[in-house]
Structure 1
Amino acid sequence: MNQDDGSPKYVTDMIFPDREGGYLKGHETRELILRTALSIVIERGYKAMSMRGVAAACGMKFGNLTYHYRSREDLVRELMEAVISSYEREFETIMIMPGVPAEERLRRLCMLLLDDIRSKKTTRFFPELWALSNHDQFVLERVQDLYVRARAPILEIVKEMRPDLSDAECEIVALFISASMEGMTIFAGYEKPFEKRMPELEHLAVLSFCNLVKTLAPGELAKTR
């Protein structure tokens, strides 16, 4: 769904990666598996997402599941790819809006992400990954890659707005904006204590981020080192 101005209203759950060859039924089966895996993580947590548990929830034999995904790591890798691809599509919609100034695109991008935090999927899926990444190197690497890709459009806009800042300065600003938004999940996400006050938090966040990008003095961050 889109807003009247054409910018995305929210992020779809997943965009399924294309695979070369194979039958339509095979693609449909993989989509079923990924949707089921995501649902299990959202409703019961990552630990409940075992290969046998996913197979049972899909109503298929374990051997049929391993035909499509040989290991849990393969399944997690493609699940995260499907999730981040949905964000990248919406980011692209905002980034290529003709005639829209960089500051306005930053505002719309932040609003999209902050609105998305209030969804059940986002509030439950990503914190599960954060917790697991503390103990699982494979998930840690996947999560880091996911956020590098998620920060990319923010970094692009910051560089466009502030060509006088160094690459390192732009990168830390983009990281700060991304981290600040993600941190709101536990306070104002789905069914969290301040969910109803997210519109106020969104306003403060976007105002603060835009002012930061516009007013940060070149070299100012170097003074903190």
Structure 2
Amino acid sequence: MTNPPETRTPRIGAWLSSTREGAGRYQAGRDRVAQILDTALEIILEGGYHALSLREVARRCGVRMGAVTYYYKGRADLLQDVLNMVLVPYADRFNEIEHVPGATAEQKLEQIIRLLLEDIQTRRTTGLFPHLWALANHDPFVAQAVDSIYILERLRLVPLIGELNPGLAPRERETLALFVAASIAGSTMFVGAGKPWAGELPLYAAIACRALIDVVKTITPEQLQAYGWRPVAEPPEWTPPTVLPDAAYRALVDGALGHAPAAAARDGVHESAPAPLATVSS
């Protein structure tokens, strides 16, 4: 499987039209928003989120400040769209994997693991996500954005885990999905772009696929209890721990599962598009 695209796809153009007020009516508006987002992402990759400012975006785009503030009132607002833009190709790739004719749940899980491992070797992922992880420790907006990204990822993993290991309870499946996602994300500092072990990805990926798929398929509630897990009664509406407010979490999940509000469907938002990331005041 090839790496997810690092450049904008036609689907992102459609997403831009439905994201920013004023961007959807004219091609010039869509082009301007795309330029702003590309520039903002490049600034983050070079210097981190602290280097991002609307003034710097305007300077690099060669436009007046008002051409940026027309669409974005602050950098948190801008970061939200940058992250949503980054997510669009992954939503498409996950959907492709989900609908591969004749593929088993194990094969789909392997493809997702390989997709995510290959992605961490892109400059974008290796450069962007460590910045976000660090900022999430003290910036509530970034913390919610990062949590949203991994919630969306787990939404693809949990059904496969349930199919491969139906004996696990919902909390156990969700936590196992968290373990798979965290194991892959934590590999960034070792096999990411420009990292010392980057050239060993084929062997590393083989080990990761073998280990992660094996634990998903074979782990049992009894084994978890033998290592200290004490099951508790789950409330009927149990949800995974999150920093998102309840309403934001539910909106994110419903959007990702295609339960978008009627207005979104009316406006032509593609059902595979990621739900907008949660926002807080910056």
Same fold (TM over 0.5): yes
The one-letter code matched in structure 2 to 1:111 is R
TM-superposed CA distance for 1:165, in Å, is: 1.2
Number of the residue aligned with 2:29: 26
Number of the residue aligned with 2:126: 123
Q: Identify the range of structure 1 (201-210 vs 215-224) with the bigger mean alpha-carbon deviation.
A: 215-224
Number of the residue aligned with 2:156: 153
The correspondence for 1:110, drawn from 110, 113, 118, is 113
Once the two structures are superposed, residues 87-126 of structure 1 have per-residue CA deviations (whole angstroms, 9 ceiling, x without a partner) of 1111111011110011011111100110111111110111
Matched, 1:12 2:31: no
Q: What's the RMSD between the two structures over aligned residues? A: 1.4
Number of the residue aligned with 2:47: 44
Number of the residue aligned with 2:187: 184
Contact 1:151–1:174, Cα closer than 8 Å, also in 2: yes
Unaligned runs of 5+ in 2: 19-23, 230-282
TM-score, normalised on structure 1?
A: 0.92
TM-superposed CA distance for 1:222, in Å, is: 3.8
Number of the residue aligned with 1:98: 101
Once the two structures are superposed, residues 49-96 of structure 1 have per-residue CA deviations (whole angstroms, 9 ceiling, x without a partner) of 111111111111111100011111111111111111221111111011
The one-letter code matched in structure 2 to 1:156 is P
Number of the residue aligned with 1:6: none
Q: Using the aligned pairs only, state the percent identity.
A: 37
Q: Identify the range of structure 1 (111-120 vs 214-223) with the bigger mean alpha-carbon deviation.
A: 214-223
TM-superposed CA distance for 1:11, in Å, is: 1.2
Number of the residue aligned with 1:163: 166
SS of the aligned residue for 1:19 comes to helix
TM-superposed CA distance for 1:22, in Å, is: 2.1
Measure the CA separation in 2 of the matches of 1:86 and 1:194: 26
Higher normalized helix content (fraction of residues): 1
Number of the residue aligned with 2:74: 71
Aligned residues: 218
TM-score, normalised on structure 2?
A: 0.74
The one-letter code matched in structure 2 to 1:187 is F
Q: Identify the range of structure 1 (211-220 vs 62-71) with the bigger mean alpha-carbon deviation.
A: 211-220
